[in-house]
Amino acid sequence: MSNTEPAGQPSQLTVVSTTTADGIHVLTVSGEIDQTSGSRLQQAMAVPAGPRPRIVIDMSGVTFMDSTGINILILAHRALDDAGGSLRLAAPGESVTRVMHIVGLDTIIDCYPTLEQALNT
């Protein structure tokens, strides 16, 4: 497990990266995803090496996401799809879900109510 950003104020973005036994790269994200913090998430979402790279993002701790986060997720989805892999989002909160629904992101990237469901699908 590696933490790409030290814990801090709730508005700061924290990204913790782990890998499951099945080779799924899991990012646990908390705080705000915006123009000032987006690069942390983008760096953590580099496409993992190997066949069929898979990333699941646990978004249960994300309190805010603007267009920066939307763009990062779309670019990551495309890169993973091009590599034969997948991106799944787990447990986005109400405000993040609302933003994703407004822009249609929830129709492009698979979203699941829990991390367990995102990992087992």
- Give the model confidence (pLDDT) of 30-63 as tens digits: 999 999 999 999 999 887 777 889 999 999 999 9
The rounded distance, in Å, linking the Cα atoms of 71 and 92 is 16
What's at 52, amino acid-wise? R
CA proximity to 42, closest of 74, 66, 18, 19: 74
The pLDDT confidence band at residue 11, using thresholds 50, 70 and 90, is low
Q: Does 4 have pLDDT greater than 80?
A: no
Angle among Cα 13, 62, 58 to the nearest 5 degrees reads 100
At residue 7, the pLDDT reads: 44
Cβ(84)–Cβ(52) under 8 Å?
Answer: yes
Q: Does 84 have pLDDT greater than 60?
A: yes
- Provide mean pLDDT across the span 78-83: 94
pTM: 0.87
